[in-house]
Structure 1
Amino acid sequence: MPDAEGHPEIGEMDLGSVFAALADPLRRKVVSLRRDDLQERFPGLLDLVADGSLPTSA
C-alpha cells in the first residue's frame, strides 16, 4: 500500500519493473536530469547517500 506521498513499501517493489523503467530512454533522461539538478543544488549529497554515510536519526 502506498504511503501518504504515493511511494510503495520496499516489499511491494519489483526490481524487474524498476530495471525495465530505467531501460526506457525517456525515463533514463528524466532520472539523469534530476540527478544533475540534485548534484548542482546539493553538491556531494548523492555520494553520501550512495556511501550510506548520512547520519541516521535516533
Structure 2
Amino acid sequence: MPDEDGHPSLEEMDLRTVLSALSDPLRYGIVAALLREPEGTARTCASFDLPVSKSTTTHHFKTLREAGLVRQVNRGNSRAATLRRTELNQRFPGLLDLIDGNP
C-alpha cells in the first residue's frame, strides 16, 4: 500500500507501471535530468521548465511518484522531487543505466 503521499513501497513498484510512466517524453526527460544531478538532489517541479501548463506538470509528477520513480516532499507552496535511485537500482537493476545511456 502506498504511503500517505502516494509513494509505493519497493515491493509495490511494478515494471509495467514504471515503463508506462517513462513512455512519455517529458517524464522520461525529468528522470534523465534527475539522473544527471548528484544523488539525493531535490528539484522543484517548476525548475524543469516544462512546456506545459502547471496542472499538466502536476499530472506528470504525480504519474512519476505513483510509479515509484520519484519521491516528492512538500515545501510550502511547492513540491520537490528526488529520484528514488537506490530503490530503483534494487528493484530494477540496470534500468537507470539504460536511461542514463539514452538521454
TM-score, normalised relative to structure 1: 0.50
Structure in which a larger fraction of residues adopt helix: 1
Based on CA coordinates, which of the two structures has the bigger radius of gyration?
A: 1
